[in-house]
Amino acid sequence: MKLLVFQHLACEHPAVLRNFLKEDGISWDTVALDEGQAIPALESYDMLWVMGGPMDVWDVEEHPWLVAEKRAIRRWVRDLKRPFLGVCLGHQLLADALNGTCGPQRPPEVGILDILLTDAGKSDPVFSGLPHKMKALQWHGVQVAQPPENAVVLAHSDVCAVQAMRIGRHAYSMQYHVELEPNTIPDWGKVPAYEKALAKVRGPNALQGLAREAEPLMPGFIANARQLYRNFMAVAAPATAK
């Protein structure tokens, strides 16, 4: 199995999901789009993951590579119909690439907040075995305002209607950060755009408080990530079989 990862910032990598990939003996190629790396031939890969980043889906003048990325996502999901996993910005890019819409998240969601599965999410195989209400890290000021046609909404929060969605049989995306690991919050707190968003919502010097809040919840975060990863890989397996 060959995995391709689209990355938009060095510290926004698959994080704890890397441990599960290692356990399964799966290697991956990363395209650092923000560093100018080119997207390789998609046909060479079985699975595509698209991670988060500080830019917005409409920032195409500042980040022109977003145009090619969205085109690649569209082709991957619509034409190649291969397994896809998007996180945060990756969730928004999936919606935008498939003619959904994204807009400002008001109020921004930054912190450890509740995610609730929809009825569709409760019966979806990728969310099997996960709590119907769970804590998750949020750090976003943009949301999927209108999901693409035929998208199935799998989770929501009090202020964000599309926290997770499925398109087709095995294209999944989440607004929240399922990949969280112990050093994620300290690392992201060093990114000016993330620090600004955190301070706006939680006040100055909020980073340490957020890290302390996450610490006792980390075993649960990792257990949920492992369960979702295992479920996703099981759903993806038939599509990646040669």
**Each residue of 194-230: pLDDT tens digit?**
888 888 888 888 888 899 999 999 999 999 999 999 9
Domain regions of the chain by residue span:
3-240
**pLDDT tens-digit map of 18-36:** 999 999 999 999 999 999 9
Q: What distance in Å separates the CA atoms of residue 224 and residue 233, rounded to the nearest whole number?
A: 14
CATH superfamily of 3-240: Class I glutamine amidotransferase (GATase) domain (3.40.50.880)
Q: What distance in Å separates the CA atoms of residue 70 and residue 64, rounded to the nearest whole number?
A: 11
Task: Please say if 62 is a catalytic residue.
Answer: no
Active-site pick, 88, 102, 109, 170: 88
Task: Please say if 88 is a catalytic residue.
Answer: yes
Edge-first strand order for the sheet with 47-50 is 28-32, 3-7, 47-50, 84-87, 171-174, 164-167, 152-156, 101-117, 133-146
Q: What distance in Å separates the CA atoms of residue 20 and residue 226, rounded to the nearest whole number?
A: 7
Active-site pick, 12, 109, 179, 181: 179
**What's the predicted TM-score (pTM) here?**
0.96
Reference 140, options 54, 208, 34; nearest CA is 54
